[in-house]
Amino acid sequence: MNPRLRVDPVACDGAGLCAELLPELVSLDDWGYPMVVDGEVPAHLVRPVRRAVSACPRLALVLRDAESALGTPREAGRRHPVER
């Protein structure tokens, strides 16, 4: 299964880079915050998605394994500093 793209809404401050780099999956709401298409990332977009994830100045764009409903150990290891 391909991973899913998520936004950490606390970390995100609406820089909007993701929508420019990844218009296929990200659009901006009326206030400039990203809205991400739900569902697995299509295989042909995985590479640009990874690029967008690493470009986010707030590290607010997160790739999550599809089955990690309760959080995987890998994910737990990469908690964003603003979370706590």
Single out the segment in contact with other proteins by CB under 8 A; choices: 17-25, 30-38, 44-52.
30-38
Nearer to other proteins, 32 or 47 (CB): 32
Amino acid occupying residue 47: R
**Residue selected from 20, 23, 24, 32 as contacting other proteins according to rule CB under 8 A:** 32
Per CB under 8 A, 13 contacts other proteins: yes
If binding is defined by CB under 8 A, does position 50 make contact with other proteins? no
Question: Residue 50 in 3-state DSSP?
Answer: helix
H or E segment at 47? helix 46-55
Cα 49 to Cα 65: distance, rounded to the nearest angstrom: 13
